[in-house]
Amino acid sequence: TMSLPALTPPAFTRRIAFAATAFTAASSTALLHAPSARARAAAPLAAQAPPLTRLALNGRRLVAIGDLHGDFLATVKALELAGVLASDGSWCGGSTVVVQVGDVLDRGDSELAIMRKLRQLSKQAKAAGGDVIVMNGNHEIMNVMGDFRYATPGAFEECRRYAEKKRAKAQAKGEVSSESDAGMDGDDEGMAGVRARQALFKPGGEFARWMAKNPTVLVVDGTVFAHAGVDASHVEYGFERINREVMLWMEGKTKMPPKQVLESDGVVWTRDYGGKDAGNQYEAKFCRRLDAALDAADAKRLVVGHTPQTTGVNSGCKGSLWRVDVGASRGIYGGAVQVLEIVNGRVRVLA
């Protein structure tokens, strides 16, 4: 997410009509992709387990990676810097646990490639006793809502190619895939990319279902992860509840996500913990808010992305807050990649 001027939920709401006109010519109601009452009633109540909310390290190494925004090269560099990606592209991190704090989507051309790579590495990591956990950020929420203003032409093209390959495979098997067809026959490539993206990211769509498995808030031992931040009200509402309600919405089983991911001070939107790059000159009041949240969550620190840091990974609130979005994507600053490592409670920046 760019720092300032930044998209906030109120601005997002005011511009929904623009997004619908520009990107969803097929249907004026496609923006929110809300499933019909009949479809919601027919959907199974528990198609998959709720997202992971709490994880014990049991002595394992923990690495946090910031926003990636569609930049595959920056993703590879971050994983290599973390010491978990071998030269052949396979997992070499052993029992390391990697947490990517969200915003894989938008501003870059290789979103699906990143999502698929991280999913592949997650499977390999689990087999070795580690894990790769990808979180939902505000740009994941926006795309499931049908707001594609920050998707690049290359990203639309990536969706079109993915849908075409999927359709070709389905046709070869004599099958019909509604997601891959997406009404693309007769479209030019640009419109075909828009329709493909709609089909892939709408609630219940293939990649929306992938993201439904991802946490929006995560606690790993004494460290809370959220794309933008948490306060005491989020702790009271319940991290598990937030994750489950986001999951159900992304699966297409509920009409809207919880307000905790829509409000300007929500877990994927707040700028309270973004430091000076978010325009916060005086941090004391935000630190008090953070202290209350961490006390309520029985945690030691918060790790966030969301606001690109011009000075690299840095801390605030006497070490209780760590900011890991370094604007590494070429769609932001294209800055030097850095990641955060936590081993046995000791925190250091890898650069």
DSSP string, 207-230: HHHHHHTS-SEEEETTEEEESS--
Rounded Cα gap, residues 68 and 108, in angstroms: 9
Helices 111-127 and 153-172: angle between axes, nearest 10 degrees: 70
Integer CA distances (angstroms), 54 to 51, 195, 225, 347, in order: 9, 36, 10, 19
**Exposure of 197 by Cβ count < 10 A (0-12 exposed, 13-18 middle, 19+ buried)?**
buried
Integer CA distances (angstroms), 79 to 76, 120, 188, 225, 284, in order: 5, 13, 37, 18, 34
Q: For residue 33, indicate whether it is catalytic.
A: no
| Contacting residues for 127 by C-beta, under 8 A, at least 6 apart | none
Q: Which of 69, 139, 227, 234 is catalytic?
A: 139
Q: Supply the residues annotated as catalytic.
A: 139
